[in-house]
A and B are shown apart, each in its own frame.
Chain A
């Protein structure tokens, strides 16, 4: 901003040109301090999240699903919370799953780490931990994402051929021998295809999986795009960003149309879908939601300050 050297900057100019470093500093503080306080904020889940929860709860117990996990630690803040919620839901319903990844080489490892952590959490609240190979089978990373997903749709067994999985405390075994694949002939034998992603693999999956219902868990930035797929009913449900995670955590605590505290929804009118109150449902969503509020408020204030400065200088120049 060009300034007249002889004059001190006016208030309008100051408001319009706060130094970047100051703004950054305020943001750092804003995102840190609230983390030390655990506050449960009131929440009203959106339809996409309610559908995600409702459709998952309607899957048959002991069913079978595919999880395509395409996130890594760079989007840990959102994706890990999503993965945790999904795993909790599936474990509590005893649904077996095939774990695969087309997004990133490191994704299978990160997913396995998360499974280990959720196992420990579930153990604390009396759940049964999942065993690799028995309850879920890890197919690892597929470099040719598009071809692989096409093959999942057309001949799912072919992608598992030659893949090894590691049962606990034993050497590698052929993935196809896992109990998860027992009786599987085609992708139609799976009740749902879940994709947890923070990258463009959503298009890859959406364009190619036609024989199995889809649900996505995406990062906040992908919500608008995927919302249009949800609206066009290409997705059964959608969990987007930390808000989606917080929604699901709320739903797991309270259920849908299930008494006084629960979430009322017209989508499931006349149906009662329970939750698991008090059973370790809080996770990343609850932890980050307060700080998020302060950060968003800061953004709004920054925009207002800039505009006020502009208005003042316009007035001054008249």
Chain B
């Protein structure tokens, strides 16, 4: 059994489990009522301001929880959690909202959560089912549809958060042309520069994941965020240690190299490459070929030859 993990190597599994543990420990700590510190995130202060201005102008707040393919996932959920906060503020101001969804399961989740928000605020009768809409599950049809909505409804504030791809700039420039305040964030790092160019406030990288903790102060989220910081510190430590170890190790030569689970003699000693170092082997297993003798399956459980089948 010892070599069952040889394909992946033990270290990365252990590291992943360590990360999970860090997060869980801190969630537990936060639940214990510990007052934990998280710093301010600039873009998020703008939410209240944006919704407030929309109310002054009497124009809607438009939100897009990303263009996640086929199904709802963690990125969409995070975006909808942030939008729940935005909708809460809008509901209190009595401001109309529009949530544009890219696929049916996102639509289902958003419908459920946003209506919940209105109910919690005691404004269930003000919730319009059509304010959460499915637009299209085709990327550019969606972009055309949302652009049309922004232009016709003259959205005063727009929130684009979650997975955005090439359509990011279509949405952001269109919203800019009607003078909307924009807060945006893309989990696709390649789109971030476009949001930076066209939007007023941008959440970069995992500020997006930190946003819900900052806005709601739920202990679970705050704790998780601190756990994530521990993870990042652990990554920093790993990278620094690896760099130092590699720097020292790569100053020598080797006469044997590690291949397929064992040391192999080299024809002549050579400079150590990065792939020979201790840390490289730790992070990437190079397993030996193992042959295991197993009995054959009984004939009744074996796949029968093709053509007829059991008719």
Contacts and interface: CB of A to CB of B under 8 A. Distances in A.
13 contacts: A20-B177, A74-B139, A74-B140, A143-B70, A199-B165, A200-B165, A200-B188, A221-B166, A221-B190, A222-B190, A224-B190, A225-B189, A225-B190
Nearest to A225: B190
A interface, by DSSP: helix, strand, loop or mixed?
helix
Given A74-B139, A74-B140, 11 more contacts: A20-B177, A143-B70, A199-B165, A200-B165, A200-B188, A221-B166, A221-B190, A222-B190, A224-B190, A225-B189, A225-B190
B interface, by DSSP: helix, strand, loop or mixed?
helix
Name which of B70, B166, B177, B189 has the most chain A CB atoms within 10 A of its CB. Answer: B166
Interface in B166-208: 166, 177, 188-190
A192 B166 CA distance: 29
Interface string A36-80: 000000000000000000000000000000000000001000000
Name which of B140, B165, B177 has the most chain A CB atoms within 10 A of its CB. Answer: B165
A79 B165 CA distance: 16
Interface string A184-211: 0000000000000001100000000000
Interface residues of A, number: 9
Interface residues of B, number: 9
A188 to B, nearest CB: 12
Contacts of A199: 165
A302 B250 CA distance: 49
Interface string A164-195: 00000000000000000000000000000000
A70 B190 CA distance: 19
Interface string B45-86: 000000000000000000000000010000000000000000
Contacts of B188: 200
A63 to B, nearest CB: 23
Nearest to B274: A233
Interface in B254-271: none
Q: Which 7 A-B pairs have the closest CB atoms?
A: A221-B190, A225-B190, A74-B140, A224-B190, A221-B166, A222-B190, A199-B165
Contacts of B165: 199-200
Interface in B79-116: none
Contacts of A200: 165, 188
Nearest to A74: B140
A224 B193 CA distance: 13
A178 to B, nearest CB: 15
A242 to B, nearest CB: 16
A200 B165 CA distance: 9
Nearest to A219: B166
A273 B140 CA distance: 42
A23 B140 CA distance: 23
A143 B70 CA distance: 9
A224 B190 CA distance: 8
A199 B67 CA distance: 12
Interface string A1-41: 00000000000000000001000000000000000000000
Interface in A218-237: 221-222, 224-225
A200 B187 CA distance: 12
